[in-house]
Amino acid sequence: MIGGLANFVLETATSPGTGAFILNGPETGRRPFSAAFRSGQAVFYFADDGSNAEWGLGTLTIGTPSTLARTTILGTTSGAMQALNFTGTVEVYNEIPAERMPILDESGDLTILNGHQFSTVGLYTEVSGGVYDTNLIKGTAPNGTIYQIVLREYAGSHYSMLHYIYDGTNFHIYEMPQTPYNGGRLICPAGTGAVLSDLAKYQPAGDYATAQSLAAEAQTRAGADGTLQTNINNEAATRINADNALQTNIATETQARIAADNALNSTKANVAGGNNLTGPQAITDGNQFTTTGRYSEVTGNTYDTDLIKGTSPNGTIFQIAMREYAGSHYSMLHYIFDGTNFSIYEMPQTAYNGGRLQCPAGTGAVLSDLPFSDPNLKMQIFSASVAKSGGQARVNFPTAFKAGTVPFVFMTSTRSLNRGYACIPMFQDDASGNPLIDNQGFTIYTTTGSGDNNDAQYTQYLAIGYF
């Protein structure tokens, strides 16, 4: 059980005997337990009546009044490991007992007793209702830049890993959620991260402003379709062969992982028995935790060095590792596993895959992948049925563009819906010869054509502009 710890928490209790402390409220200048912790949380406590004292872990129940159950007795001034019988007024305050205090030895190493992971589980803050942050690592670089890694719990929803960077001017937050939220996409200062599959429906960048360019593009696409079908057939055959090879590799990898797990379990420290972690596990300057030299070979010439690993209060496992692809590059790996969903984020060096994030949703995309040189341009494709009236007609965009801007609009026409009659749609001009186009829509003029003047014509539009 991990005890909660907060500053200036002190209340009194009257004649609790050996039972739970019924809290009277804080003394002057101090805070009540209910202001620092949530109901049901385990917290450290000291109880002192001026003659005798007791310390341990209690369970807080917030109410009117609040109570603190004496769940685990860590020590007393009498030497007995059981609750003292207090018959008068007792001061009950929050402080960490010596039994749970981390202390550096003469070599500057930290001995961690009764646990095998370095973590700050239980040291959390409530950001907003039902949202809690657990600090994992925090420090300051030599140039003063502040960095912090936090596990955020959205109660009843999901977990995210948050990275904070603050250089004194700019404050950046990168959020890496589990797969069930936002499709496992990175949330960064520029917005929600895209992956390559998001770009499948976009046309490549190019000049589509003239009929000649459109005709050339159509011819190019027709040739590309034939090549694509050939490539699809070849890819299907390649995938079948790859699937067969993958099944073989999976079986081999499974055996290798079992052997690696057995080897790991046989060599890891049994800190529950009181082992001291020294040497490679070292706190070098007071604000960093490193495991230098502790690595495992994942596959041939691929090595993982664990940087930090732990378990949150509800059992979610998190891990950060440095992966070395020998002779190729390095990557930072983030793992989150809540017992059901296993999410991996890989951040490789620029030399590999262009430095793109590998996340549960796919390979991360960047601005240069967008179809336009200006990333703020957006497009709308829509259709409308316009009466062949020989006069003007107003067509509105499905979504209005940015006020004060004039988008580019392209249109095509078809034969009429019912009897094959046709007319020609044209943009209506104003008195100065400019097309009547604004951010809300545009005005067209249709010729009467031939046949029934009341027949309707189906027209398609492509609009490009700013939102």
pLDDT digits (tens, 9 = 90+) for 426-437: 888 888 989 989
Pairwise CA distance, residues 55 & 100, whole Å: 11
- The CB-based long-range contact list for 96-105 (8 Å cut-off, 24+ gap) reads 96/3, 96/5, 96/44, 97/44, 97/46, 97/55, 97/56, 99/74, 99/75, 100/3, 100/44, 100/74, 104/283, 105/278
Q: Which of 53, 100, 120 is nearest to 80 (CA)?
A: 53
**Edge-to-edge strands, sheet with 425-427:** 392-396, 441-446, 425-427
pLDDT digits (tens, 9 = 90+) for 105-142: 676 555 554 433 334 444 667 888 888 888 777 777 76
Q: Which of 85, 81, 79, 83 is nearest to 69 (CA)?
A: 83
Q: What is the mean pLDDT of the chain?
A: 81
Pairwise CA distance, residues 118 & 162, whole Å: 18
pLDDT digits (tens, 9 = 90+) for 206-244: 665 677 777 778 888 889 988 999 999 999 999 999 999
pLDDT digits (tens, 9 = 90+) for 74-87: 999 999 999 999 99
Q: What is the DSSP string of 346-366?
A: EEE-TTTGGG--EETTEEBP-
Q: What is the dihedral of CA 443, 449, 453, 458, to 10 degrees?
A: -60
Q: How confident is the model at residue 287 (pLDDT cuts 50, 70, 90)?
A: very low
How far are the Cα atoms of 152, 161, 307, 318, 412 from residue 344, in angstroms, in the given order?
Answer: 16, 11, 15, 10, 46
Q: Tell me which DSSP letter residue 27 carries.
A: P
Q: How confident is the model at residue 367 (pLDDT cuts 50, 70, 90)?
A: low
